[in-house]
Amino acid sequence: MLDTLLIRLLLQPYWRLTRGQTLGVQGIVVDDAGRVLLVRHGYVRGWHLPGGGVEHNECLESALIRELGEESGIILDGKPALLGVFSNFERSRGDHIAVYVVRRWHRFQEPRRNLEIVERRFFKLDSLPAEIIDGARRRLEEALQEKPVGNEW
């Protein structure tokens, strides 16, 4: 796990420079109490939706399933709903993020603390952490408060 994280951190700048497009996937995971799952990474500030990069020869839903398993120890019990695909040109000129809403899931294991995800927690919408990144806050408002869905992260 540590080797994979180090390789990913070292290669991300190279990938952004050499690839015309990058694609990520994130999930809005909602529990039975209506709370949403957020994660805090060890290498970037703020609270984020769980997710990550889509690998070569991997479809979006497979990437979502893999990332949710790795970052939060959960598995989907039903098909996720695509909220949208958002451009994240502030991060990289060709970066896009597909965001899904996940309501049917269960935890198959308690994930171990690691260097990539240092904290994961469920929050009520009316008590989100102040450090939540703007893109994640907008996606939560669009998905769960029925605000118009934008195009940019």
CATH number at residue 101: 3.90.79.10
153 located within any domain: no
Whether 8 maps to a domain, the answer reads yes
d(CA 47, CA 88): 17
Whether residue 108 lies inside any domain: the answer is yes
What is the count of structural domains for the chain? Answer: 1
Nearest residue to 41 (alpha-carbon basis) of 5, 13, 10? 5
Indicate whether 27 belongs to any domain.
yes
Residue 92 lies in a domain: yes
- The reply to whether 87 falls in a domain is yes
**Tens-binned pLDDT, residue by residue, of the chain (153 aa):** 555 556 666 766 665 566 567 899 999 999 999 999 999 998 899 999 999 999 989 999 999 999 999 999 999 999 999 999 999 877 677 789 999 999 999 998 877 767 789 999 999 999 999 999 999 999 999 999 999 999 999
pLDDT on residue 136: 98
Q: Is residue 150 part of a domain?
A: no
Residues contacting 96, CB < 8 A, separation 6+: 21, 22, 23, 24, 85, 86, 87, 88
**Calpha distance 5→3 (Å, rounded):** 5
pTM of the model: 0.85
Range of the domain at 66: 2-144
Residue 149 lies in a domain: no
